[in-house]
Amino acid sequence: MKSSRRDFMKWSLVTGGVAVAGLSMLKPAFAQSPVDPVCPALPPPPPPGTDPMPIAEGLQGMPGGRSPATTPWLEPLPIPSVLQQVASLNPPVSPNWQENHQINKGWGSDPGPQNELYEMHIKPGMHSFHPELPTQDVWGFEGIVPGPTMVSLYGHPQIVRFHNELPINHVGIGVPETTTHNHNGHQEPYSDGHPTEIVRSGEHRDHHYPQIFAGNDPREALGTLWYHDHRVDFTAQNVYRGLAGFHLCFDDVDSGNEQDPNPQALRLPSGAFDIPLMFTDMAFDSSGMAWFDPFNFDGFLGDKWLVNGKIQPHFNVARRKYRFRMLNGGISRIYGFELNNAAFMTLIATDGNLLPAPVQVLEVALGMAQRRDVIIDFSQYPIGTEIILENVLEQKDGRMPTGNVLRPGSPVLKFIVDRDAVGAEQDFSQVPLSLRQMPVMDLATAQQHQRSFVFNRQNGAWTINGNFYDGEIPTFTVKQGQPEIWTLKNGGGGWVHPVHIHLEESRILLRNGGLPGPEDQGRHDVILLEPGEEVKIYIRFRTFLGKYVMHCHNLLHEDHAMMLRFDVVP
């Protein structure tokens, strides 16, 4: 039985714990293997090569088959380590370096909050994706995949020094040149990871993350961010090779302490019970080495499901509430996640932004670069219970899902309830009925300032309003503080475009002329456009001046060259 992805998303959000009729009646379109679940009809990989992550020379007619079989649930879910502060930077930040920055508090002699100092080394590392595949070369922040989790507190500005230590004479995909984007961060252009501001091997760049609210409005607080390479033309390859990690932000409301005595604090699950989950998909040749095809302009799909860099791991949980920060860190796949026991999850945030109130969900739809925070309460299950998180959206190529919702889905992550929540694991957390209220929109003023953008394919590559990306010339300028309404339109052709706008988030006003559905509520930095869809958004750029970009986050579309530069001016 077929159902569109948009219908799936509409069905997946329900309130008050009442299921939506019809969803449970969908029948599986095919049965996945219980040992090695894979995506159907994936083009075969190239023959084994000597290069780590070799470039495939083409997908059609390639000898071989799918990735080698791997046994699920052999390894525990790895939790990325937290990046630690350093006492100093060597060499120190240049005294006149603050001229590059619009907020100079903590730089030079300017009084203000002391900057926290961090260093991140972008370098090769050896990684095991699965015990039954060979350990192999990756590129990672600190040489690990995913990179260390950055943790920030509003009001505590940071300087993060990114060292490029990638080999100049490398083999395989990617280029040893980087520019690190703090995705959804509210930061000045110099520290935004502009695609053409490249850090070469042997160089470093200091980014300043001021940790201030957009428009000085605490309702604009961000929560689940992530950072990744953004090098022009090679973002997909460098990210696929491993250059991505989480960045979590906290404030007085979402404080990261479930025992916080502050009456403003939400006391959501915290610490060891606040778990980042980066979902990616990869392909491997017959020798078990990762491979990638950068020449498939539609997009690239893998046939192995990874969570935090491991293929189908398991996660042992106590009988209590957990917060899971779900991130689609992949190249071209859209996920539809559900629990195999048809249990509800509590959605609390979209794209890293807390909702006004929690929503009970049966499924979580997750486009490229999107984030969803959910609470799962395991206290209702006896010890020994096993629950599997499944992807139920069928997708056979980089264009978009087929429209089939599959039951059973593809197993991605297994939860094993193995202990009571006692002692240090006692559950002090809560899920309040009210979370964070939305900022007020100035729609009357915004109506006077409207723009339109069409995302389309032209001459074999990708365009916005018929133009390819030029990082040296702004396509348009936008006045600082001016509310605007933008119309984002998918030009059709059978592709989905997840549109990401740097610096500020947007609010969806209309989708195809109708009011936004439940899946469109909240603030977003990625807007998913299906073929022919038209979405009107409210957006306003505050605090910072300078150059930023908007692009499709199907990373092969971005690299070929569905991106534009815009400048914020006084």
Which tops the pLDDT comparison, 5 or 245? 245
Taking residues 512-525, report their average pLDDT.
89
Taking residues 249-266, report their average pLDDT.
98
pLDDT 10s digits, 98-126 = 555 665 444 443 445 789 999 999 999 99
pLDDT band at 492 (very low <50, low <70, confident <90, very high): confident
pLDDT for the residue 527:
97
pLDDT 10s digits, 35-52 = 333 333 334 444 443 334
Nearest to 560 by CA among 240, 228, 234: 234
Domain boundaries, the chain: 443-569
Q: Considering the entire predicted model, what is its pTM?
A: 0.90
What is the second-level CATH architecture of the domain 443-569? Sandwich (2.60)
Q: How far apart are CA 475 and CA 466, in angstroms?
A: 12
pLDDT band at 517 (very low <50, low <70, confident <90, very high): confident
pLDDT for the residue 378:
98
pLDDT for the residue 23:
22
Nearest to 550 by CA among 463, 479, 491, 484: 463
Is residue 470 scored above 90 in pLDDT? Answer: yes
Taking residues 534-553, report their average pLDDT.
96
Q: How far apart are CA 60 and CA 134, in angstroms?
A: 26
Per DSSP, the residues of 80-145 read: PPBPPP-S--SSPPPTTGGGG-S--TTSTT--SSPPEEEEEEEEEEEE-S-TTS--EEEEEETTBS
- Whether 240 and 274 have beta carbons less than 8 Å apart is answered as no
